[in-house]
Amino acid sequence: MQVRLLEPSLEETTLNFRRWNMVKSSMYVLTTMWNSVVRNNQLEIDDVVQLWSFRVESRLCFALVKVDDVQKGSEEWVRHSKSNENGASSSHQEEGHGGCRRISC
């Protein structure tokens, strides 16, 4: 089935969403333009991503979030807010990667 993917770069790509039946199990995969998504977003082996699903007018869509980039942005914000001129401080607690998956190319 064709699905729309919103990439971390905010580009939209049409991919095929398929179920591959293996000997003892099955897996769901995004195919066709996946290698382009990997290149366009500089995804590398061991990058942590989240894949969110949602529907637009009953059509299945996905959003791909590169978790490491989100955390780096959060750390930059914390670093900036800790060093502001008025002496205000903030705290940041790093959470686990619940529901996240690492990229395997």
Q: How far apart, in whole angstroms, are the C-alpha atoms of residue 5 and residue 14?
A: 6
pLDDT in tens, 11-41: 999 999 999 999 999 999 999 999 999 999 9
Identify whether the C-beta of residue 2 lies closer than 8 Å to the C-beta of residue 16: yes
- Give the count of domains, the chain: 1
Domain that holds residue 69: 2-81
Report yes or no on 61 lying in a domain: yes
Task: Let me know if residue 51 belongs to a domain.
Answer: yes
Length of the chain: 105
Whole-number Å distance between alpha carbons of 21 and 26: 4
What does the pLDDT read at residue 91? 34
31-85 tens-digit pLDDT: 999 999 999 999 999 899 999 999 999 999 999 999 976 666 555 544 544 544 4
* Within a domain: 92: no
**30 in a domain, yes or no?**
yes
| CB-neighbour burial class of residue 4 (10 A; exposed 0-12, middle 13-18, buried 19+) | middle
Distance CA 12, CA 51 (A): 14
Instruction: Give the span between the Cα atoms of 70 and 86, in whole angstroms.
Output: 26
